[in-house]
Structure 1
Amino acid sequence: MLLIQLTGLSGAGKSTLAAAAREKLLALGHKVEVIDGDVYRSHICRDLGFSKADRMENIRRLGFIGLTLAKQGVITFLAAISPYEEVRHAIQTESDLVKTVFLSCPIDALIEHDVKGLYKRALLPENHPEHLQNFTGISAPYEIPATPDLVLHTHQESAQSSLQKLLDFVLGQLHSLEKQGPVVVPKAMFIGRWQPFHNGHKWLIDNKLKQGIPVLIAVRNLPRDEQNPFTTEQTITMLRSIYQEQDVEVMAIPDIESVNYGRLVGYEVNCFDPPSNVGAISATDIRDQIRQNKTGWKQYVDSRIHALVEQFLSNG
């Protein structure tokens, strides 16, 4: 969908603005993620220091994650100082989905409103034990974006005004994308009998949904028998009742003999390794418990379809 690079000095309001925009856009029904530079540095970039090379590598990694999300239909805010024009430009030229928003705030204003005390520490003598080295804007450079798509003067305007300008910009970009044609987001496909759909199946599908990837569940059209006690239509009804409020499409397909593909087909074929408590769930055991009128199966099946399971089986 979009990757918005929010760049600016420490304290300019990047993380706060990204979080506020996320809440507003979520309320409008969009998928939104925030990549906070401080948070991600402490997790996936712990091997990096604060040299120019390490700072650029940090942003390259975050940009890769952000663009991957954007290509999956997620509005992504990359909130990081990102002090070097070279790496910002490199990320932006990778895709038309990337836009740069510069949060402009004079260093004097940031020092005055030094909530975290970082500027105070950066301005201490170098031999002071609490001195911060290589601090952007003080002892390390910040290169102002040459051609940002939007500039927000956070020292002059209210937080609400900056937020509204950012939202207007994002929604305007979405409108431009819509005029270019529908944005087709690839789906993760799952093929199965789902007899019945249980928490092991649900773990697999939810794993993709948590990544912001829409899902297509294909139900193999099979005749009813001992191993397939539910009709295709009944299975589809149960699946839709679980995922009716999520980005999941359910459809019937003819029974298949195999899944085949050639090289460079443009999609992945994945095999997930679920945790032991999930992998141990057996549809065969669940069907046996249902036939024996036991209730233990209910702990392995989503509660939203318990009544449907019992109703469909009682109707024969």
Structure 2
Amino acid sequence: MANTHNIVWHQHMVDRQLRESHNGHKGAVLWFTGLSGSGKSTLAGAIEHQLASMGSKTYLLDGDNIRHGLCRDLGFSEADRQENIRRVGEVAKLMVDAGLIVATAFISPFQSDRQKVRELFSPNQFFELYVDTPVSVCEQRDPKGLYQQAREGKIKQFTGIDSPYEAPLNPDLHLDGQQPISDSLSQIIALLLRHHIIQIDY
């Protein structure tokens, strides 16, 4: 742990509330979790596109993209996965402070890690969206060929095969990973409206 004795938090004149007023909506994170191939990245991209088309200020944090930069030094051990999620949580927190609606697409297999990220945020800023897709369906989709490699022993500690996935017990939104994308998007928009993150003027 770094020595933080001489580090002091500075409160700046421009705060989240002012940024949110300029953006026309509140900052929040939509934390998509689910197995590889569950459809979470597709949904995260689709909701970002829909929100952006509505004029919302958004950003998408994708698991693979993050590992090309911020987390390129991490592997897939349990400790590295925990650090991966910790870093993403801190980045998402900064973006929410900027007043953005942030969609994240990470397997984030451990309940304790997701809970730690939730605790970084104030109420109504963090929403856990569980994309519930059976592993058999994910394996049939297998867009990257990862399940086959895991079955063949070429990939170790693969979630859903030889590493556990702890499904959310009480997610903010439980999405059927086999339903039409449009149905999931409607549920997500309804969630954001219900919590007054966005407004729709008729």
Shorter-normalised TM range: 0.7 to 0.9
Give yes or no for contact 1:63–1:78 (8 Å, CA) kept in 2: no
Give yes or no for contact 1:111–1:119 (8 Å, CA) kept in 2: yes
For 1:147 and 1:166, the matched residues in 2 are separated by: 16
AA in 1 matched with 2:128: T
Alignment partner, residue 118 of structure 1: 146
Give yes or no for contact 2:89–2:120 (8 Å, CA) kept in 1: no
For 1:115 and 1:94, the matched residues in 2 are separated by: 32
Which runs of 5 or more residues in structure 1 are unaligned?
A: 179-316
Query: Which of 167, 179, 182 pairs up with 2:189?
Result: 167
For 1:15 and 1:111, the matched residues in 2 are separated by: 16
Alignment partner, residue 89 of structure 2: 63
Q: Does 1:85 align with 2:111?
A: yes
Q: In the TM superposition, what is the alpha-carbon distance from 1:6 to its structure 2 partner?
A: 0.6
Q: Does 1:44 align with 2:73?
A: no
**SS of aligned partner of 1:53:** helix
**SS of aligned partner of 1:133:** coil
RMSD: 1.4
Structure 1 segment 1-316 matched on structure 2, within 5 A? 1-95=27-121, 96=123, 97-124=125-152, 126=153, 131-155=154-178, 157-175=179-197
AA in 2 matched with 1:171: L
**SS of aligned partner of 1:174:** coil
Identity across aligned pairs (percent)? 37
Q: In the TM superposition, what is the alpha-carbon distance from 1:165 to its structure 2 partner?
A: 1.3
Give yes or no for contact 1:67–1:98 (8 Å, CA) kept in 2: no
TM superposition outliers: structure 1 runs of 4+ over 2 Å: 170-175
Cα deviation digits, residues 231-265 of structure 1 (max 9, x gap): xxxxxxxxxxxxxxxxxxxxxxxxxxxxxxxxxxx
AA in 2 matched with 1:149: D
Alignment partner, residue 190 of structure 1: none
For 1:115 and 1:37, the matched residues in 2 are separated by: 15
Cα deviation digits, residues 240-291 of structure 1 (max 9, x gap): xxxxxxxxxxxxxxxxxxxxxxxxxxxxxxxxxxxxxxxxxxxxxxxxxxxx
Q: In the TM superposition, what is the alpha-carbon distance from 1:44 to its structure 2 partner?
A: 0.9
For 1:108 and 1:66, the matched residues in 2 are separated by: 31
For 1:73 and 1:173, the matched residues in 2 are separated by: 15
| TM-score, with length taken from structure 2 | 0.80
Cα deviation digits, residues 134-160 of structure 1 (max 9, x gap): 1110011111112210010112x1121
Q: In the TM superposition, what is the alpha-carbon distance from 1:29 to its structure 2 partner?
A: 1.4
Q: In the TM superposition, what is the alpha-carbon distance from 1:174 to its structure 2 partner?
A: 2.8
| TM-score, with length taken from structure 1 | 0.52
Q: In the TM superposition, what is the alpha-carbon distance from 1:173 to its structure 2 partner?
A: 2.3
- Which has the higher Rg, Structure 1 or Structure 2? 1
Which runs of 5 or more residues in structure 2 are unaligned?
A: 1-26
